[in-house]
Amino acid sequence: MSVRALIDQRLRTAMAACGIPAHLEPQLARASRPEFGDFQANGALAAAKQLKTKPRELAERILAQAELDGIVARAEIAGPGFINLHLADDFLARLLDDLRHTQRLCPAVEEPQRVVVDYSSPNLAKEMHVGHLRSTIIGDAVVRVLEYLGHEVIRQNHMGDWGTQFGMLIAELEDHLGAGEAPDMALADLEQFYQNAKAHFDLDAGFASRARHHVVQLQAGDPHCRALWLRFIDISIAHSEAIYRRLNVTLSHADIRPESFYNPQLEEIVTQLTDQEIVREDQGALVAFLPELADRQGNPGVVIVRKSDGGYLYATTDLAALRYRGRELGAQRILYFIDARQALHMKQMFALARKAGLVDPGLSLEHHAFGTMLGPDGKPFKTRNGGTVKLADLLEEAVARAARLVAAKDPQLIETSPEEIARKVGIGAIKYADLSKTRTHDYVFDWEAMLSFDGNTAPYLQYAYTRTQSLFRRAAALPGAVPGAIRITENAERRLALLLLEFPDILRQVAADAYPHVLCNHLYELATAFTGFYQQCPVLKAEIDAELRASRLALCDLAARTLATGLELLGIEVMAEM
């Protein structure tokens, strides 16, 4: 159990003994200032109001009841009835020693869940662009945290490989191959290929009608169309997978369950919705009207599940996917990492799936939306001439910029190549810049800020980690300089200790709310506390006695492990030096 959870539990027991109803919480939080101790509990105020007693007196009674011996060195009541708690140094030291001797920095959850996570999910018609970056890296960070806590995660890469656009792409490919071109060559630049197909579709009526016919043929399973489509899909998937590798994202080929997978189920879904009278015909289309999602004027929410030409839609596929994930995959929670602009769509899907009983009532359906990545002008991120920024180009630039940065620092490297550092710093910087922003907000993409060695950035954290490693390299040269039992003597050690012990609380919070910036902020605080410790508490100096040196080496070791683990959970790599 984490320190916070332990104290929280003791306070709850004490509050119950004081006759306070269980829904009133201790409201335990980290102390807002060092002089207030380590934790403060503000729950006595609300409880006193409810019980109509004096808050200070109630706080006194709670404290008298609370079994905090050995945990808290000093407790006091402040202001109107805040309980300030100063933890005992030897208690912290003991917990840290325990932590140091376990493999995991956070115990596994007692009740692991099966969690389906839908993320990345690019459209294969085009090359992956910056719009898919956020889903890919935020989703991957949350997935890693869930797995670290012991949950069973099933990744679902809901790639867009179906729909009318593919008729046009098949027609284009047909023309290229007919002219003797090899598929790999024709599709080397997917973005350009798409633009060409679109131009032909818009300007050439013959091409357009062939494209439309190909859509029908593809859906009917025509072998020629299917073969061309498969060629296209394979190459497009390979593009995405190259990006996943570059980005150090854990999505594998087996996680792809694209839209086409659900195609055979769509008719059945629509029939069920019709039988249940959830959808009805409206101007030839099949439409669900959802009064529960009515707008301000009282018009019901509208979802089309089959067009008048008989074609199914993105929404129909998502309903089939919801059913599949609940029934076949046995999900207890389904997490969607999709742009905030699809919030209404997701709301409609969840409402419809529940109404139609496609999912069990107990299944948790969660759309974790995110804002848009903006350019320096505050508008959605674009190239200089207004095109979409290809992800591959962006990542290449990040690594090139990081390489220049490393070269300018001219570090004396012993075991790491400059290329490795540039790759880890460049990719880490892009990912961290995104993950460290509150997911729901838009943010401005800024090379200078993300590659800075100061502030809440990947390079800063990676650098803090390399300091621990250089310290250990120096320690290795000193006989007997090995980590040992921890004791807390200085404030800088205390501060570090508390943050190290808070790590499990942070991970659980990320698993629950899917906000990775909470982990980023914590790691930043930890790196800053480590830097303070490093400056104020000598470790290897000759005047430090062997026991203190062992204790400080142990703190360094835990700090290093926590930083490396935290960054790894964000999908960011560390290195021994930079």
Work out whether 338 is an interface residue with ligand ARG (CB under 6 A).
yes
Applying CB under 6 A, does 127 fall inside the site for ligand ARG? no
Shortest distance, CB of residue 159 to ligand ARG, whole angstroms?
7
Assess 558 for contact with ligand ARG (CB under 6 A): no
Instruction: Tell me: does residue 43 bind ligand ARG (CB under 6 A).
Output: no
Q: Which of 26, 43, 139, 160 binds ligand ARG (CB under 6 A)?
A: 160
User: How many amino acids of this chain bind ligand ARG (CB under 6 A)?
Assistant: 10
> Residue 559 in contact with residue 500, Cβ under 8 Å?
yes
Are 120 and 139 in contact, with CB atoms under 8 Å apart?
yes
Let me know: does 555 contact 497? Beta carbons within 8 Å: yes
Q: Nearest approach, Cβ of 512 to ligand ARG (angstroms)? A: 21
- Are the CB atoms for 48 and 68 separated by under 8 Å? no
Q: Does 318 bind ligand ARG (CB under 6 A)?
A: yes
- Binding flag, residue 316, ligand ARG (CB under 6 A): no
Report d(CA 70, CA 266) in Å as an integer.
Answer: 62
What is the rounded distance in angstroms from the CA atom of residue 558 to the CA atom of residue 550? 12
Window 389-408: residues binding ligand ARG (CB under 6 A): none
Site membership for ligand ARG, residue 321 (CB under 6 A): yes
Q: Residue 157 or 248: which CB sits closer to ligand ARG?
A: 157
Site string for ligand ARG, 228-247 (x = CB under 6 A): --------------------
In this complex, which beta carbon is closest to ligand ARG, that of residue 135 or of residue 217?
Answer: 135
Whether the Cβ atoms of residue 481 and residue 475 lie closer than 8 Å to each other: yes
Dihedral class, residue 355 (left if φ above 0, else alpha if ψ from -120 to 50, else beta): alpha
- Closer residue to ligand ARG (CB): 56 or 354: 354
Smallest distance, Å, CB 129 to ligand ARG?
A: 10
Task: For residue 275, give Cα distances in angstroms to 271, 324, 472, 554.
Answer: 6, 20, 69, 66
Beta bridge partners of 86: 74
Query: Which residues does 42 contact at the CB level (< 8 Å), separation at least 6?
Result: 27, 29, 81, 82, 83
Measured between alpha carbons, how far is 462 from 484 in angstroms, rounded to an integer?
25
**Which of residues 139 and 167 has its CB atom nearest to ligand ARG in the complex?**
139
Compute the least distance from the CB of residue 569 to ligand ARG, in Å: 23
Instruction: Please say which residue, 215 or 406, places its beta carbon nearer to ligand ARG.
Output: 215
State the Cα–Cα distance between residues 558 and 95, nearest whole angstrom. Answer: 12
> Which two structure tokens, joined as six digits, stand for 298?
């009282």
Per-residue binding string, ligand ARG, 84-123, x by CB under 6 A, is ----------------------------------x--xxx
In angstroms, rounded to a whole number, what is the distance separating the alpha carbons of residues 253 and 217?
A: 27
d(CA 117, CA 139): 7
At its nearest, how many Å lie between ligand ARG and the CB of residue 122? 6
The footprint of ligand ARG (CB under 6 A) covers: 118, 121-123, 158, 160, 318, 321, 336, 338
